[in-house]
Amino acid sequence: DVVYNHTSEQGLGEPRSSLRGIDNRSYYRQHDDGSYIDVTGCGNSLDTSTGAASRLVLDSLRYWAEEVRVDGFRFDLAPTLGRDAEHTFSPEHPLLRAIAEDPRLEGVKKIAEPWDVGMGGWQTGNFGAGWTEWNDRYRDRVRNFWLSDIDYARRADTTPVGIGGFASRLAGSANTFSPERGPLAGVNFVTAHDGFTLRDLVSYDVKHNLGNGEEGRDGADTNRSFNHGAEGHTDDARILSTRRKAMRNLFGTLLLSAGVPMITAGDEYARTQRGNNNAYCHDSTLTWLDWEHAAWQRDLFAHAARLIRLRQENPALRPVRFAHAEMSVPSASVIDWYDENGRTMSIDRWTDASHRTLQYDARSTPEHEEPNRILLVIHGREDGAEVVLPELDGVSRYVSLWSSEDEHPREGREHLAPKSIVTMSGTSMHLFRSE
């Protein structure tokens, strides 16, 4: 995780410790009167429109890649690096292109956090070739679907939106990333080092940051979380069971979506920060990884491991390119969508908030490996549903691979015929291989 957008020197009133004492004007963005332009929220911003600052960044990256053998970088507040002398972002900025095209950085992962706090700072989907980006739109929509939408439905007896936006994220966010870049341009995530952990997402409605010493002002106020009936710790067995399934749904969505999945360390064991969503300032058991786990935490780990293996074994889940349904593009997946009755999704059902059940049929179009086909059934309401598996050309049976309804992944693999009825419990997922 590299921070090339600002330094520790902070604002003009702070002590000189590095670049300000070397060449203040060449390294920092400034107004004509010498005051700093802050597009990072940290008091100073590196001016990468100058040769000196750009060379410093490139030399640093080369050192880490060649001498330390780091194989990838996540660029904090990456749009700051792509701002010109007028402080406007451009994906064609010389530094961004140099990082992507530098032969000494060939094969090194370059992942952008595609936003900063300056004007026009939100740039998700706008970086160029050679870059991948954190997909915050994926994070928000997936959290909404499984958490805040369900919270809303408990109070209003209906969810706020239909399933269309969720399906777009599941299929690789083609409405965010260009066809030339494809689904691998997006790094899908549900949690990160900032914000709630996976366990806290399903256990807290609001942040609990008083221990940070800023009277609760720090950390995001909008988390799209849902405590499922009790804030934080509870002994209520029903709430705990629902929370565990919610974590499995979030993990399942992340690892079964097109794009590059990112897992925050500790989520596979349901690590908690006790509701603190900005715990960077703590070096204590609040943030350390705990290697002592209860049985239910080991079960969650088993689900994560199973999902990773299924992703590896089924190329239809990890397309490299986008494709329309009528196309056959090598390394893409041809996708069709069906409703709970096994019929092709109608246009009105995508936006109808009362319809939150979807069947996702994906067929790989491989260049080398054997063809592969999967069916993912998703049910996004708390009441149960009966789902009719679709009758599809070339499919004689569906082999059950994984279900979020199981506390521990099942070893046996049930075979079901097309038109079989599958009973889905509230808010659940079921993955099949189509044969």
Q: Give the CATH number for residue 342.
A: 2.60.40.1180
Tens digit of each residue's pLDDT, the chain (435 residues) = 999 999 998 778 888 999 999 999 999 999 999 999 999 998 899 999 999 999 999 999 999 999 999 999 999 999 999 999 999 999 999 999 999 999 999 999 999 999 999 999 999 999 999 999 999 999 999 999 999 999 999 999 999 999 999 999 999 999 999 999 999 999 999 999 999 999 999 999 999 999 999 999 999 999 999 999 999 999 999 999 999 999 999 999 999 999 999 999 999 999 999 999 999 999 999 999 999 999 999 999 999 999 999 999 999 999 999 976 666 777 888 999 999 999 999 999 999 999 999 999 999 987 767 889 999 999 999 999 999 999 999 999 999 999 999 999 998 789 999 999 999 999 999 999 999
Catalytic residue among 76, 149, 267, 268: 76
Question: Structure pTM?
Answer: 0.95
In a domain, 331, yes or no: yes
221 SS3 class: coil
In a domain, 403, yes or no: yes
In a domain, 84, yes or no: yes
In a domain, 405, yes or no: yes
76 is catalytic: yes
Catalytic residue among 32, 86, 101, 113: 113
113 is catalytic: yes
Overall number of domains in the chain: 2
In a domain, 160, yes or no: no
Q: What is d(CA 331, CA 145) in angstroms, rounded to the nearest whole number?
A: 28
Q: What is d(CA 389, CA 370) in angstroms, rounded to the nearest whole number?
A: 24
Q: What contacts 145, CB < 8 A, 6 or more positions away?
A: 163, 165, 166, 253, 380
Q: How many helices (H) and strands (E) does the chain have?
A: 10, 13
Range of the domain at 341: 326-434
DSSP characters over 311-343: HHH-GGGS-SB---TT---TTEEEEEEE-TTSS
308 SS3 class: helix
Last residue of a domain, one of 83, 108, 134: 134
Last residue of a domain, one of 134, 163, 189: 134
Last residue of a domain, one of 106, 134, 162: 134
In a domain, 335, yes or no: yes
